[in-house]
Chain A
Amino acid sequence: MPEQFTQLTSRTFVLPQESIDTDQIIPARFLTTTTRTGLGAKAFYDWRYDASGAPIANQPLNTLDTLDTSETRILVAGDNFACGSSREHAPWALFDYGFRAVISTSIADIFSSNALKNGLLPIVVDAETHARLLADPGGRVGIDLERQELTIGNAPPIKFAVEPFARRCLIEGVDPLGWLTDHLPQIEEFERGHAR
């Protein structure tokens, strides 16, 4: 069953770089796993550790590594976040690391689709909102998925868009595969008239 998501209030963690690709989020050599779990330790691995596996000093995630991820669950990233591969390992890694939402001015299609199936909410905001978030790392942000509202500090809430079915899955715990299997009679009917 998918992870549920309704509301979240958390501090943000900011990675302002643009086009953070899926190979940065989870390097390909860690894709040999056959399970979904434990990838948080490998998230942004090549930003955090050098070739010998020693932690790299003064890299952006140092501060996150020492933060309490129960307090910091929202990643704010530069434009065109998670471009690249279809690997679902990317949202698995971010979720396992502790994130529950990602905010950017644009987020790759396949990543968004994958994230929504794993309890990680992708939120696209306008450039002005994005600039406010980038300017205030560690700021407090509220997310209300029911109302589709984002609240930065004490400012009035901002509406965000989310695909309605994915929203329902996250709030009500609707299972997309279960939903599809419920429609197998229609699928069989379609197949009878569908030549290869």
Chain B
Amino acid sequence: MPPSSSPRTLFDKVWDAHMVIPETADAPGVLYVDLHLVHEVTSPQAFADIDARGLKVRRPDRTFGTLDHSTPTNLERSYVTPEAEAQVSTLERNCAKHGVTLAGWDSGDRGVVHVMAPELGLTQPGTVVVCGDSHTATHGAFGALAFGIGTSEVGHVLATQCLLQRKPKRMRFTVDGQLQPGVSAKDLTLAVIAAIGFGGGSGYVIEYAGDAIRALDMEGRMTLCNMSIEAGARAGMVAPDEKTVAYLRGRRHVPQDEAFERAAEHWLSFVTDSDASFDKELLLDGTFITPMATFGTTPDAAIPIGAAAPTPRSDSERKALAYMRFTANEPTTREPVHVVFVGSCTNGRLSDLRAAADVLRGRKVASGVRMLVVPGSEAVKRDAEAEGLDRVFEAAGAEWRQPGCSMCIAMNGDVVPPGKLAVSTSNRNFEGRQGKGARTILASPATAAASAIAGVLTDPRVFTRELEDA
């Protein structure tokens, strides 16, 4: 560990505090993991690995499971295939065998892994959080170092609570200025990914800083950090502040009373020193961001809604535009939208559902559009129903579903049909991501709702005051 006098970044501080054995030229460092989240898709082979070696889950108290990816979102709980059901029962069996807490079907805690853990207060500043899921960076919103790992590494963490890691490089992405009314965290996120480029974050941990980031609430910060992997980055982080502390206060797995105040003081020490340096610095003025949507088949291919799709610069970009059936130099707001999805670990939280409901209230989903609203967790579902959001969605003609990953990864049977155009609040617009042949536009919850009403990709400010004022 460097002397305390040498300036360090937030990431350096978390990294240093978890180095069991520092890396050398010959071997990666041994990094300690505070929280290991497991779900049904990327864990069965890992449990099988440790079972085959006669190893146990070393720290079941630092391991939490949930069911989210393969799970049906209909009330009947009808699985898409027997394999999907078998995968869920495999995790149920593995958790029972190893004494791991599972937010299973009968639990009011169950949710999409990156929605559930923060709600329960499992995600805490200055900790290392891993999961066999690339969107684990979500937890970086709390100033945790959080990243996705492969199944072999899931086995490593189950058996040793540690990972072999070389230290990534440091990037700071500063967003100054203030977001305009009607511009959301998702719009900011898509602008940030577009600025970095799809592979531009490769090898880096990104710290998001600046006035526009500080102004985001915790759910907005989670949306931003969630998509760090879409720029290729290992992780994204936001330094903890009073908003972080206020969010965590009273949650089940954080210390309570006086112990909480002590913990909060410790958490707030995880900030970048004023003279610390980064390997790369990027800057964006948040004042000029408008509602964004993707036009291609990579998440960085995002433009302001209403702008013309740019001229392709390569065969791959030409192929992407052809797949999406958009025309270069023409706006993407004329193609009929068939499916609208509000949900996922990116935008399945209460504030997301409120944003969609605010646009939909008193309006109808256009005929020919199927709209699914999938709460990110049982807790989000309860809270949303308590304030009547479910009734807003159903009155508008949208489907109100059970919590899960649903149409974001489309492995549970919730799919966009071949050739159909979806406006989705999720994180990936890859070819076929939401179903074979599905064409995906990534956008914010408000944009998704506005597009459901209009039947074409639509700037949500059309339905709210902001555009009239502008």
Contact = CB atoms under 8 A, between A and B. Distances in A.
Contact of B436 (A17, A32, A51, A84): A51
Interface centre among A16, A32, A183, A186 (most CB of B within 10 A): A32
A180 B159 contact: yes
A165 B28 contact: yes
A180 B162 contact: yes
Interface in B48-92: 48-49, 53, 55, 69-70, 80-81, 83-84, 86-87, 90
A8 interface: no
A108 B204 CA distance: 11
Contacts of B437: 51
Interface stretch (B244-252, B393-401, B426-434): B426-434
Interface in A127-144: none
Contacts of B80: 29
Contacts of B202: 80, 106, 108-109
B20 A24 contact: no
A86 interface: yes
B70 A32 contact: yes
Contacts of A163: 28, 166
B425 interface: no
B73 to A, nearest CB: 15
A19 B134 contact: no
B134 A29 contact: no
Interface residues of A, number: 52
A133 B430 CA distance: 26
Interface in B128-143: 132-134, 136
Interface stretch (A65-73, A150-158, A188-196): A188-196
A103 B315 CA distance: 19
A177 B155 contact: yes
A187 B314 contact: no
Contacts of B34: 196
Given A84-B428, A118-B152, A184-B160, A165 B27 contact: yes
Nearest to B25: A164
A32 B59 CA distance: 26
Contact of A87 (B28, B42, B436): B42
A191 B30 CA distance: 12
A177 B148 contact: no
Contacts of B159: 177, 180-181
A100 B382 CA distance: 49
Given A36-B45, A106-B199, A23 B160 contact: no
Interface of A: 16-19, 21, 23-24, 27-29, 31-36, 46, 51, 78-80, 83-88, 106, 108-110, 113-114, 117-118, 163-165, 168, 176-177, 179-181, 183-184, 186-187, 190-191, 194, 196
Given A19-B199, A28-B411, A194-B18, 11 more contacts: A23-B428, A24-B430, A29-B411, A32-B41, A83-B198, A86-B148, A86-B149, A109-B168, A109-B202, A110-B150, A177-B159
Interface of B: 17-18, 20-21, 25-28, 30, 32, 34, 41-42, 44-45, 48-49, 53, 55, 69-70, 80-81, 83-84, 86-87, 90, 124, 127, 132-134, 136, 148-153, 155-156, 159-162, 164, 166, 168, 198-199, 202-203, 229, 232, 234, 298, 314-316, 319, 409-411, 418, 428, 430-433, 436-437
Q: Which 5 A-B pairs have the closest CB atoms?
A: A114-B150, A86-B148, A34-B44, A18-B316, A88-B150
23 contacts: A18-B316, A19-B198, A23-B431, A23-B433, A24-B432, A32-B70, A33-B87, A34-B44, A34-B48, A34-B83, A34-B87, A36-B151, A46-B431, A51-B437, A106-B202, A110-B148, A113-B150, A113-B153, A117-B153, A165-B27, A176-B164, A180-B164, A187-B20
